[in-house]
Each structure stands twice: as structure tokens, then as C-alpha cells.
Amino acid sequence: MALLHRHQLARLSDAGWATVLARPWDAQARDCLAHWAAHRLPLVVTRQAAELLAADEVALGLPAPARWGRRRLALQLPRTAVLYFDEFPKLADVQHLWPSGARAALLALQAALVACRAPTRVYGSHGWQALSGLDHLRPESDLDLWVSVDDAAHADVVTRLLHAFTVPSLRLDGELVFGDGTAVAWREWGHWRGGRTRAVLTRGLTGVALLRDTEWREPTGLQALAA
């Protein structure tokens, strides 16, 4: 059975989509979901309640593009409705969405992340537009990166690389994800490690926690973000 993690994509089976479309949605939601089903677009794994996991069900979301009012649709489905799990595109795979004024800086950042062995995926508006081809992006949209890191020292290196990216036309945002799936917003990590805050918010599959330790508790386990 596949281990779930945040920002993971779920590709539904035909039977799974039939289950979704049989539910009593309003007209706008139904039109959006029908498009998703017809084009076999993915849903995203969201925060999971313990009782849902125990019942072998999964909570999924669909952040709709502007065409459907940017609604956020929530679903709960049995795991058997999921044909397979997938991942958001890698940074290199969304170059066609990079603003021209940020291209050189993004190429340099991408090379630096590869050099320090930090696999990077793009979620948020850029990730969804790359997947669907629809109007998820706004002119002011951040580029949300989900960067896999090994430990605190590796996270510090990656945070410095991200912080050094200064392009007026594009703001970077996103998270560092450790081997056990624990994630921290990279800006918050930098503030915490620099002593500017006394705690850091960690995010996991089933909830959030405020970490006040003076030293990072190094997570262990499988890499949550595929290379």
C-alpha cells in the first residue's frame, strides 16, 4: 500500500470518478468535476483525519481554476477509488510557465538545487496549471516549491539558495520536506534557525505542530518527495 504524503497527487480509476460524479454537487462543481474526470486530471492528497485513514479512505482536494471560480472542492473516497498516486511536476518541467524576466535566475537556482541534491517539485498555481493547462495562475502568483532535504544542515543550505533568489517579477514560496514527511515553510525555517523566532510550525499528513526545541530533531525514514 502506497504511503501517503502531503502534496501527493491521486489519479482516480473510472469507477472512482463514477463515484465522485454520482454525488449531489451543485452545477458549477459538477461541471468542474466532469471536466476533471473526462481529462483524467488528478486530485491532491490533503490533511488526513486518523479515523479516515483507519477506514482505508483518503481525503482529496481539487483547487479549481478561474473558470470555476477558484473553488476548493473536498472529497473523501475509499483507497480503492485511486488507480495510482503521482507527484507534482519537477521544477525543470515547468519552464514554459516561468516569467521571461526570471528565467536566468530560475535556471541558476535549478542548477544549484540539483548540485546540492535537493529534488524540487512545483505545486500551487504553477503546478496545477502545468497539469491541467487551465487558468490557475494569476499575475501575482508565487512559485511554490516543495524541496526534499536530508537533515537540518541540508535544509540550511537549501534555504540560503532560496533566500538568495531575488527577482522582482516572481516571489518564491513553499516548503522543505524531510525524510519522514515533516514539512516546514522554508522562510519560517530560516527565521527560526537564525534565532528570529522561538518556534517553527511543522506540517504533516495528519496535522501541524509547533516545535520549540533548541535543536532540530532529525527525522528519519523514506524520502517523502520522489527524486
The string of DSSP letters for 102-163 reads GHHHHHHHHHHHHHTT--EEEEHHHHHHHHH-SS---TT--EEEEEE-SSHHHHHHHHHHHH
Question: What's the pLDDT score for residue 2?
Answer: 62
| Band of pLDDT at residue 212, cut at 50, 70 and 90 | confident
Give, for 44, the enclosing helix (H) or strand (E): strand 43-45
Write the pLDDT tens digit of every residue in 155-205.
Answer: 999 999 999 999 998 999 999 999 888 999 999 999 999 888 888 999 999
Which residues sit opposite 172 in a β-bridge?
143
Write the pLDDT tens digit of every residue in 39-90.
Answer: 999 999 999 998 888 899 999 999 999 999 999 999 999 999 999 999 999 9
Q: Is 144 a catalytic residue?
A: yes
Q: Is 86 a catalytic residue?
A: no
Catalytic pick among 142, 150, 156, 173: 142
In order of 32, 96, 128, 129, 194, the CA distances from 121 in angstroms are 25, 15, 12, 14, 25
